[in-house]
Homo-oligomer: A and B are copies of this chain.
Amino acid sequence: MKQREVRAALLGATGAVGQRYVNMLSGHPSIRLEVLMGGESAGKRYGEAARWLFPEPMAEEFAKKIVRVARPESAKGCDVVFSALPSEAAKEIEPGFAEAGLSVVSEASAHRMDADVPLMIPEVNSEHLSLLETQQRTRGWKGAIVTTPNCTVTGLAIVMKPLVQEFGAEKAIVTTMQALSGAGFPGVPSLLIVDNVLPYIKNEEEKVAKEAKKILGKVKSDGRSMVIEPHEIPMGVTCNRVQVLDGHTESLYAEFPRPVDPSEVVRAFEGFRGPPQKLRLPTAPTQPIIVRKENDRPQPRLDRMSGSVPGMSVVVGRVRNGIDDKSLMLTLLSHNTIRGAAGTAILTAELMRREGYVG
């Protein structure tokens, strides 16, 4: 039996991440983006309200849509609401949509660490969706809130999954070189970043460590409810901003209880698959992790759009032992507004649809 199309709405449609949803959902085979919602832009045509940031032109069907006020009635008839809201607004606005029966898939940090809210990367922790039953029961909602992680942790958690699961990684030290688009629009003033590196991103380091542990955690029942037991791997994180448009580059050092052979790690990365690949979801790349063998890769400009669904694969390179044969170093690259934002949210909605959570 063919599943019906999911009808979707979008909160925060005019911003940088919002535009990425519009860009990626244009022509989607099973999700139809019907409603665009905004704040000050409500009432205007989307084509006028959004300062379009992509070289490829905005699809005509969206350009002429009128941006609606961000409230549940605007999304009437929809199944899913994607939220590209800033955290404060998300906290206030998203629960109303869940209460009204919609599945909120949110990019905002507001609810990520709530005990009954899944923090999803479909390849990594699809089983976390089972929290939703607890969430709906406890909160008395017909809909639900599902979140996706911070843009910096997404690529990292995908790479850590096989390291933790197959090799028992027990320590991770990460230094990031993050793209400008990670700060949204207008974001980083050009006067601050030309001929410069910014060695700090507010609240980012804490998020990366906490979210990675939740994502890599196990679902358990405590008798009444399903809960996540976070992974206990100690993580040290340093976040930097560099002059790159898109694509977060991350340098990872990890330790293991036993010697690890880099070529085995490469095989594990290349063979890594999750439910989205098995289900052939539309936004699932055939290979979630691509490994480059050249010394000077991954590079953000050359590799950020890699893979069968451009921008959805994490590209890893320079896999080598670290200080000894029980440690490993590598560099990973992940597109921060595709895999790190809109792409993972859309993939989550696709998974929810296939597993009967929406639509």
Residues of A within 8 A of B (CB): 16, 53-55, 171, 173, 175, 177, 180-181, 185-200, 202, 234-236, 238, 240, 242-245, 249, 251, 253, 295-305, 317-318, 322-324, 327, 329, 331
Contacts and interface: CB of A to CB of B under 8 A. Distances in A.
30 contacts: A16-B191, A55-B301, A55-B303, A173-B173, A175-B251, A180-B194, A185-B189, A185-B191, A187-B191, A189-B189, A190-B243, A194-B194, A194-B195, A194-B243, A195-B301, A196-B302, A197-B244, A197-B249, A198-B296, A198-B299, A199-B249, A199-B318, A236-B253, A236-B327, A236-B329, A238-B318, A238-B329, A238-B331, A240-B251, A253-B253
Contacts of A305: 55
A252 B318 CA distance: 19
Nearest to A246: B195
Nearest to A321: B236
A181 B177 contact: no
Contacts of A195: 194-195, 243-245, 300-301
A54 B192 CA distance: 11
Nearest to A192: B190
Given A196-B244, A238-B251, A317-B199, A180 B186 contact: no
Nearest to A202: B295
Nearest to A304: B55
B245 A299 contact: no
A323 B171 contact: yes
Contacts of A189: 185-190
A196 B327 CA distance: 28
A164 to B, nearest CB: 15
Among A55, A173, A249, residue most surrounded by chain B Cβ atoms (within 10 Å): A173
A309 B301 CA distance: 22
A296 B55 CA distance: 14
B323 A235 contact: yes
A300 B234 contact: no
